[in-house]
Structure 1
């Protein structure tokens, strides 16, 4: 018996006692959250001493104590969003911390509760720094180790990772498992769902499932690494995942309407300025109308500011870099997505949502539906101003890149949630500032 076998047996014994490495890291993150409460305790002690010395008011200490609630809520939100790819860590931490503190601030204003802005800012910075340090230590910088029993699962995974135009995948290590008795050494087991099960294999899988050793299909591991769905492995279970988000669509519709009404005071004057610039450069109307395919495949007329000086009746085609048809004003408004301001009306009318797969032209939808399996599934949700594919990949300029784009869109259809929508919103703001992916 060699040293490696002894080491694996020790890890397996530890796995039977404490589950997989994933479960142990979750426990460490929870302990990190509890330890962070000591920072608030120390801050409260110093704040009380400062109050007695006449340096701050009693409201400062009370605000620090109130801030414990968003601190705990931030850890809960972060835990709930760990299904998203690990490379999104910085954005996830920022969202998980900002939202609860924004909620606390809204509560103070709504109920006219006196609070200290300095204490609230201090609590926010403590929470942000502490959670960011914990996430970097236990999640972001940690490279998970997955075991596998069948070598062909690695080839299946490679097919999911290697797609044209895709964003870089997260890091992960893989080692073969001599037997499932070694499972405790790993963060999880990567298994092939298509393999015909036998009684012995089923018993072993059930044993480690009860021991908190996590098991993932090849498709799920691919999603964790890339934020994409493996198109070659979609089956009828995909529709079950979509059904789980059915009620979420109604809540999202309310959020869309409220958000558009709040954005109107900024969007209307900005839109008027863009329209004036378009009319000054080239003759013709400033608004461009085009038929696109929306929810459940129903066509609608999408509005955009005109960015080209050619006949709008030109056949549908991919956007290309340095397109000669684009005007000088058009290049600017395309780069910063100002040409899409009129689509806020489409959102208000219910044709689109703020977040969702970008609507395609009807002729291109017909073409892709005939050549790409499962392409119509992207129409199970309302199309959006910005989507997961846009912030991860940008524009698709070829048929191969369209396949990659579909894998991102179907990931959103499968995993759409408040956390994912907010993450897309943050990354969209980055796009508006940098002009990433514009054509």
Structure 2
């Protein structure tokens, strides 16, 4: 559309380098946005409408960066108009999809499917007999391990598969709706499905290192001002260094900006936002996650990643090891500055809250991928810019 407006309807008869480069760049950006938003949409808690502006902006910035550094000719007006049109297009697609499209699942009424609760995105319809009639369903959900499944219902599930209607085990749907992996019977999971890709771990480590080296000089002024503010606010060092449990269970020292009074003692973890040990400056830097900035040094050293399960203190780790099943399995990936549990649940210190947090961590490990990392990054960026959701 921008090409038509800028160059006329017959522009394809004459395509010099600047026009061809611009069209290819816009097409690539559009495809990247489409794939990113579609992949992110499958994760629970992904408010796709909130991520359209950053996804579109990042994609177009990337293609502009490539064109700039390769010194290829392009037309700024068409590129900018394509950016605006893409924003409008994806917003329209989202709102039309939300208005007219809701996933509809038929539920076989036996076993643990009774625990499933419908959401704004998924409609659950209980079947009274092994027949879906003339209703068009996106899939059928059943507890495939239930002893109550009769041969008649099993034949029904087989017919659904033959007619290309997906049949889902209730665990799959429960995980996709909650963003958590149940861990009370972890042995029922195949450990292979919880083993993260070694290839992606290597790729992620490479991009973590490059990104950290680029961000250090950019964030240095912010870190300098934060350190000065901490020193002026209360006596004590600007940095807080604490041993934490790391990748593959190896302890390391995590770096943070100090957000508490040095002279006040308490328990081995923060007791919520109203903890009396938190300083005035500490409340601000914790709200906007500025206290986490020194952990870029941990990323450079290879001890942490930008995205991953948050590392716990040694005291809490030893406590959880005793009381929480399979806690140590979360160390199969590098700990992160931000993580899936933090953007979905927030901070948890007690054992009951930690079990829920561990379920989020296991979901992240099971779905360990670029797209989930992008979603966590967008949610974290939203928290940093607005302060909303930080805990």
Q: Same fold (TM over 0.5)?
A: yes
| Alignment partner of 1:385 is 2:351 | no
| Alignment partner of 1:285 is 2:244 | no
For residues 371-430 of structure 1, the C-alpha deviation after alignment (integer angstroms, 9 at most, x for no partner) is 222322221111110111111222125333222222221111111211111111111111
Distance between the aligned counterparts of 1:379 and 1:403, measured in 2? 15
| Alignment partner of 1:182 is 2:140 | no
| Alignment partner of 1:419 is 2:371 | yes
Q: Which of residues 227, 246, 259 is equivalent to 2:198?
A: 246
| Alignment partner of 1:113 is 2:65 | no
Q: Give the 3 Å change call, closer, same or farther, for CA 434–44 of structure 1 in structure 2.
A: closer
Which runs of 5 or more residues in structure 1 are unaligned?
1-39, 162-168
The alpha carbon displacement at 1:204 in A equals 4.1
| Corresponding residue for residue 348 of structure 2 | 396
For residues 272-329 of structure 1, the C-alpha deviation after alignment (integer angstroms, 9 at most, x for no partner) is 2222222223222221111111112211111111111135875413432221111222
Distance between the aligned counterparts of 2:336 and 2:99, measured in 1? 29
Q: Which has the higher contact order (CA 8 A, sep 6+)?
A: 1
Q: Give the 3 Å change call, closer, same or farther, for CA 407–100 of structure 1 in structure 2.
A: same
For residues 242-290 of structure 1, the C-alpha deviation after alignment (integer angstroms, 9 at most, x for no partner) is 3352211111101111111111112222222222222223222221111
3-state secondary structure, aligned to 1:420: helix
| Corresponding residue for residue 23 of structure 1 | none
| Corresponding residue for residue 90 of structure 1 | 49
| Corresponding residue for residue 308 of structure 2 | 356
Q: Which of residues 276, 282, 292 is equivalent to 1:340?
A: 292
The alpha carbon displacement at 1:136 in A equals 2.9
Structure-to-structure mapping, 1:91-170, within 5 angstroms: 91-94=50-53, 96-138=55-97, 142-157=101-116, 170=120
| Alignment partner of 1:305 is 2:283 | no
Deviates more, 1:378-387 or 1:281-290: 281-290
Distance between the aligned counterparts of 1:141 and 1:230, measured in 2? 32
Q: Give the 3 Å change call, closer, same or farther, for CA 225–129 of structure 1 in structure 2.
A: same
| Alignment partner of 1:79 is 2:42 | no
The alpha carbon displacement at 1:102 in A equals 3.2
Distance between the aligned counterparts of 2:231 and 2:170, measured in 1? 53
3-state secondary structure, aligned to 1:247: helix
Which runs of 5 or more residues in structure 2 are unaligned?
none
The alpha carbon displacement at 1:346 in A equals 0.8
For residues 65-88 of structure 1, the C-alpha deviation after alignment (integer angstroms, 9 at most, x for no partner) is 652333234333333334212642
Structure-to-structure mapping, 1:201-212, within 5 angstroms: 203-212=155-164
Q: Give the 3 Å change call, closer, same or farther, for CA 318–282 of structure 1 in structure 2.
A: closer
3-state secondary structure, aligned to 1:182: coil
3-state secondary structure, aligned to 1:216: strand
| Alignment partner of 1:195 is 2:154 | no
- 1:87/1:170 contact within 8 Å kept: no
- TM-score (ref. length: structure 1): 0.78
Q: Give the 3 Å change call, closer, same or farther, for CA 351–279 of structure 1 in structure 2.
A: same
Instruction: Name the Cα RMSD after superposition.
Output: 2.9
| Corresponding residue for residue 26 of structure 1 | none
The alignment of Structure 1 onto Structure 2 pairs a total of residues equal to 385
The alpha carbon displacement at 1:347 in A equals 0.9
Distance between the aligned counterparts of 1:268 and 1:138, measured in 2? 43
Distance between the aligned counterparts of 1:119 and 1:144, measured in 2? 37
